[in-house]
Copies of this chain bind each other. A is one copy, B any other.
């Protein structure tokens, strides 16, 4: 398993006229969580793209349990629970202190610049082997 916690503070621009955070504003937060996780394991996403590996989102699923508000300090807990290969699933909890505000997952596929699926880079494969032995 891979896991990581990232923290952000809610920006005014992320709210809407309902007085709470716009539901679409969570997607960049999940991304902060996801890229934080990759970086924590030595694979900054910026370097992946520089090496010709892209990880577009192929699915997003998110349930909203409680509203987030302007100024809240939000923790994004991202985890990889299944051994990744050309496909990758990341699970998330979006929390304010001990409260879970949202939970969901994203799915991704490694592709090359033109968008064709490709094997992940060796460093990623090694990490997957080390963290999910026998899987």
Interface residues of A (CB under 8 A from B): 11-20, 22-24, 27-28, 31-32, 35, 44-46, 49, 54, 56-64, 67, 70-71, 115
Chain B residues within 8 Å of A22, by CB: 12-13
Q: Chain A's interface: helix, strand, loop or mixed, by majority?
A: mixed
Chain B residues within 8 Å of A70, by CB: 17, 46
Chain B residues within 8 Å of A16, by CB: 12-13, 15-17
Query: Are B62 and A23 in contact (CB-based, < 8 A)?
Result: no
Chain B residues within 8 Å of A20, by CB: 17, 56
Distance, CA A134 to CA B16, complexed state (A): 37
For A60, give its contact among B14, B44, B54, B60 (CB under 8 Å): B60
Query: Are B11 and A32 in contact (CB-based, < 8 A)?
Result: yes
Residue of B nearest to A11 (CB): B28
Distance, CA A107 to CA B111, complexed state (A): 31
For A15, give its contact among B17, B62, B64, B115 (CB under 8 Å): B17
Distance, CA A17 to CA B56, complexed state (A): 11
Query: Are B115 and A45 in contact (CB-based, < 8 A)?
Result: no
Give the shortest distance, in Å, between A4 (CB) and chain B (any CB).
Answer: 14
Query: Are B46 and A57 in contact (CB-based, < 8 A)?
Result: no
